Amino acid sequence: MSDQALLSRRRFISASLLAGGGLLFDLNVPLAQAADAPPVILTAFIRILPDNRVIIGAKNAEVGQGAKTMLPMLIAEELDVDWSQVTIEQTHADQAVFGGQTAGGSRTTPREWVPTRRAGAAARAMLVAAAAAQWKVPAETLKTGAGKVTDPASGRSLTYAALAQAAAKLPAPDPATLTLKDPAAFRIIGRSIGGVDTPAIVAGKPLYSIDFKLPGMLYAVLETCPAFGGTLKSANLDEVRAQPGVRHVLTLKGDGQAESLYDGVAILSESWWSANKAREALKAEWDDSAVRGFSTDGYDRQAASRRGGKADADIVRTGDVDAAFAGAAKVVKADYSYPFIAHATLEPQNCTALFKDGGIEIWAPTQNPENGRALVAKALNLPPEKIRINLMRIGGGFGRRLMNDYMVQVAAIAAQVPGTPVKLLFTRQDDIRRDFYRPAAWHGFRAAIGKDGALTAFHDHFITFGRDGKPVRSAELSATELPAGLIPNILLEQSLLETNMPTGWLRAPGSNAIAFVTQAFLDEVAEAAGKDLPTLMLELFATPRELPRGNNAPPFVTARAKGVIEKVCAMANWQGRKALPKGQGKGFAFYYSHMGYFAEVVEVALADGMPQVKTVWVAGDVGSQIINPINALHQAQGSVIEGLGQALAGQKITQVAGAVEQANFDTHPLQRIPDTPAIHVEFVKTDYPPTGMGEPALPPVIPALVNALHAATGKRIRTLPIVPEMFTA
């Protein structure tokens, strides 16, 4: 079933299906409830307790993006209960029951805005129908509120708890026939509501996947070849088996694919500490001859040799690019690049599995459960229905948990010790060195400026990684990348290098890097044209247009871009790039990412040769409704902090002889709390459906930062990360 599929009648499964064997979410009733007073299962998402409290299932994994709170807010609003009545529980993974459960790409809000509200409205309609039948009055004459159905004509009222048994026997209504609330009537949507798990988090209670335990569980560590794709030749398995606490030492035969399985040695012990200590005794010999030739220095040399030559293929070519450059008043050229970087989630990868009776149960911190199910089914040769996936709270995803290697690995280990629960846990070194990295790339830019100062042509020779003529995952450059569609002459072309590095989506995939290079280069173009970047962008967006984006995505609306640019310039009191004294500067950038329009201004000052970010202003347009304002604010602030860390903290993954050099936060550091600036966020509400907040605020902050540094120092930053030598050379 597609993530885009709306909730259908069969997904409003009512209590009658409970006997079918766990099709609904887990019935973990709160301890305060008496054992002889079970909840009434009203739909797949809603249970009603005898005291009129409501348990709502959150179907998407919680990665810190707020979905576990936001999705039940949508249901509770249309169900017409008070938020104080609501208890939230995580569902398991079952797209046949719950629909799409992928947590990535900022798609949850646009995908669920209507369907999930319909889930609440359907349950409300069933309760109203039960009351109407009992009172023998037309359903349309009844009102609801605070978990009650009221008959205004007679003054009678019944709680949802009193109606739940009768309502559960009724057929769920056709979602398309339901009338959803007018936004003016919202009482939950639009309120700032704290995260459902926040009290447990601040109290330090075990909550995350890494905290999960089962009786009799063994802990596993896994050693694989340091060079991606190497195969196991031999290992001193008996010596490792003799180490204290070790229960099993197993070999895994992989298929050479990073997301399914590499060859490896798994050590299972009674504690993670003893398993990891035993690992120190492991002496494995690997055949890495096929992958030793890959290195960062080699990539740099290849990119340099390709930069001035003919590209492999066009991504898009419009107009007469050669003529436009030949007739230009000015031509601006610059080369930009950025490195591989790791996700570096604070919770390292982990997963628990129990293989029993020809099936497997998995407790997984996954953003993409059905992909994991398919991979495990293939690896173990199991039918998908023999795999149960329990969704666990995730201690940072940023796209890393869209790739499910840890699920396949723990499943392959657990299948060798049937009946014994196994928890696989990466060390920090494993996590950094066995990631799916944001791909590196190089961009050779040219821009043509006419006599009137207008941008007339734009060319990007994009060099990145791929195979068989296709970019590797997350290395794509869209044919609609701005300024495509806004000026007549565009040439975006690509050349591909080979790599053995696994690549994957990192928060704001593609955009986190492309925004840096395009907006920083356009700042150079604007300066050459005698203007600042906001002026150039507003000129490009001056004509109201809707530009097609493809892949069923909504069009790009120039008026929305114009709105956030004007808003952030007002917020930051933008007066041009040279408005501050030497050594201080403001920089601007705009970017459209994951259906969100964001413009940002960064103010910097140089301190001891390194930039200190003082203030960041953020203006965003994510549509007509901010569902949970405090969470939206935190998502924007977190995006800014993460983007600044990618640029300033020293994040860079390098490779020698096919293997990653970095191993911990000392060599791939994160942004620190003392380096966090003041961040001011405001939203421009427009008459468009609401979209997600997990990603679109990140991309503009990096180019705004480097543009501010140019304003402060006169130096252009054309590669990341930013290091002190850039200001002393």
Report pLDDT digits (tens) over 430-469. Answer: 999 999 999 999 999 999 999 999 999 999 999 999 999 9
Query: pLDDT band for position 609 (50/70/90)?
Result: confident
Count of helices and strands (H, E) across the chain: 19, 31
Collapse the DSSP code of 197 into the 3-class scheme (helix H, G, I; strand E, B; otherwise coil) and give the result: coil
pLDDT value, residue 25 = 35
Collapse the DSSP code of 71 into the 3-class scheme (helix H, G, I; strand E, B; otherwise coil) and give the result: helix
What percent of the chain has a predicted confidence (pLDDT) above 90?
92
pLDDT value, residue 552 = 85
Q: Which of 9-18, 228-237, 445-454, 641-650 has the lowest mean pLDDT?
A: 9-18
Q: At what angle do helices 701-713 and 511-528 cross, to 10 degrees?
A: 40
Is residue 33 predicted with pLDDT exceeding 60? no
Rounded CA gap, 252 and 223, in Å?
Answer: 10
pLDDT value, residue 17 = 32
pLDDT value, residue 128 = 98
Looking up tokens 């599929």, which residue turns up? Answer: 5
pLDDT value, residue 32 = 36
Looking up tokens 């970010």, which residue turns up? Answer: 613
Q: Which residues contact 28 (CB under 8 A, 6 or more apart)?
A: 89
Looking up tokens 């939230």, which residue turns up? Answer: 88
Q: What's the mean per-residue pLDDT of the chain?
A: 94
Q: Which of 236-250, 370-384, 606-620 has the lowest mean pLDDT?
A: 606-620
pLDDT digits (tens, 9 = 90+) for 92-138: 999 999 999 999 999 999 999 999 999 999 999 999 999 999 999 99
Query: pLDDT band for position 18 (50/70/90)?
Result: very low
Is residue 38 predicted with pLDDT exceeding 60? yes
User: What tokens appear for 371 in the block?
Assistant: 């992909």
User: What tokens appear for 204 in the block?
Assistant: 């330090």
Is residue 323 predicted with pLDDT exceeding 50? yes
**Mean pLDDT across the stretch 164-191?**
96
Residue type for position 66: G
Rounded CA gap, 645 and 503, in Å?
Answer: 20
Is residue 345 predicted with pLDDT exceeding 60? yes
HSE (side-chain half, CA atoms, 13 Å) at 160: 33
- Backbone φ and ψ for 561, nearest 5 degrees, come out as -60, -45
H helix intervals, 136-252: 160-168, 198-202, 237-241
- CB distance 278 to 269 below 8 Å: yes
User: What tokens appear for 345 in the block?
Assistant: 């989630």
- Ordered DSSP codes for 667-723: TSPPPPGGG--EEEEEE---SS-----SSTTSTTHHHHHHHHHHHHHS----BSS--
Rounded CA gap, 370 and 205, in Å?
Answer: 29
pLDDT value, residue 582 = 86
- Backbone φ and ψ for 372, nearest 5 degrees, come out as -65, -40
pLDDT value, residue 729 = 64
**What value, to the nearest 5°, has the Cα angle with vertex 628 and ends 626 and 629?**
70
DSSP strands (E only) in 520-609: 546-547, 556-557, 584-593, 596-607
pLDDT digits (tens, 9 = 90+) for 633-666: 999 999 999 999 999 999 999 999 999 999 999 9
CB atoms within 10 A of CB 380: 19
HSE (side-chain half, CA atoms, 13 Å) at 374: 7
Region for 68 from its dihedrals, namely left if φ exceeds 0, alpha if ψ lies in -120 to 50, beta otherwise = alpha
Q: Which residues contact 91 (CB under 8 A, 6 or more apart)?
A: 25, 26, 45, 57, 58, 59, 98, 101, 391
- CB distance 72 to 119 below 8 Å: no
The pairs formed by 664-670 with CB atoms below 8 angstroms and a separation of 24 or more are 664/428, 664/429, 664/432, 665/344, 665/428, 668/341, 668/342, 668/344, 668/432, 669/645, 670/344, 670/645
- CB distance 262 to 468 below 8 Å: no
**Mean pLDDT across the stretch 140-159?**
98
Rounded CA gap, 616 and 52, in Å?
Answer: 45
- CB distance 455 to 525 below 8 Å: yes
Among candidate residues 727, 702, 697, the one with its CA nearest the CA of residue 106: 697
Is residue 608 predicted with pLDDT exceeding 90? no
Is residue 34 predicted with pLDDT exceeding 50? no
Query: pLDDT band for position 716 (50/70/90)?
Result: very high
- The enclosing H or E element of 301 equals helix 296-307
pLDDT value, residue 728 = 81
Cα dihedral 161, 45, 117, 626 sign: positive
On the 0-12 / 13-18 / 19+ scale of CB atoms within 10 A, 511 is: buried
Beta bridge partners of 159: 148
Rounded CA gap, 271 and 220, in Å?
Answer: 8
Report DSSP state, residue 362. E
Is residue 232 predicted with pLDDT exceeding 70? yes
Is residue 20 predicted with pLDDT exceeding 50? no
Among candidate residues 81, 77, 94, the one with its CA nearest the CA of residue 10: 94
**Mean pLDDT across the stretch 2-23?**
34
Q: Which of 144-158, 412-426, 604-618 has the lowest mean pLDDT?
A: 604-618
Report DSSP state, residue 453. S
Beta bridge partners of 430: none
Is residue 27 predicted with pLDDT exceeding 70? no
Among candidate residues 619, 641, 653, the one with its CA nearest the CA of residue 702: 641
Q: Which of 39-43, 173-177, 541-545, 669-673 has the lowest mean pLDDT?
A: 173-177
**Mean pLDDT across the stretch 75-92?**
98
Query: pLDDT band for position 240 (50/70/90)?
Result: very high
Is residue 21 predicted with pLDDT exceeding 70? no
Report DSSP state, residue 624. S
Is residue 318 predicted with pLDDT exceeding 50? yes
Rounded CA gap, 212 and 99, in Å?
Answer: 26
Beta bridge partners of 423: 219, 352
